[in-house]
Structure 1
Amino acid sequence: MRARSAVVFGVLRLLAFLVPFGLMMLFPVMREYYWLSAIFAALIGLSLSMLFLRQPLAEMTSEIASRRARRERVTDEDAEDAATPE
């Protein structure tokens, strides 16, 4: 499996959280309430990833699905033959 799409998606998701968190940490009020900054950054990151990261997510899930399809070559007939006693 190519890990490139998973790494790209993970890095972009991490940046979608860290950039808003870093910007909020520039304000003195938010430095005092760092936990509130983390919550807001998580919500902003989630929103950004839902809007802008659809393509990397689709690439990553298609690679995972193709890998699983290659690994699982059991057909219905094979499963029925294995389940019925002879």
Structure 2
Amino acid sequence: MESDMDAHIKQRCAIEFLTVEEIAPIKIHQHFLKVYGDDTIDVSNVRQWVVKMHDKPRPGRPCKAVIPHNEERLDQLIHADQQITT
């Protein structure tokens, strides 16, 4: 029989796959209950992992946030010292 840790790792992998398939967290948890029984992770943990998997950066997607205050400050610094580059 596998350890609890192995079961949890497998469930996290399955959550990643099923999240891409757009399966709801409650449905994922119900499937896990059938397969893993008492070793099933809590539904709140399933929800947390779905959020983490859904928000994962993807190739080609910019990982930046433009904040007007930072943009203004950068412009001020560049105008103050023309040798600064971005």
TM-score strictly above 0.5: no
TM-score by length of 1: 0.32
Bigger relative CO (Cα 8 Å, ≥ 6 apart): 1
Instruction: Pick the structure with more helix per residue.
Output: 1
TM-score by length of 2: 0.32
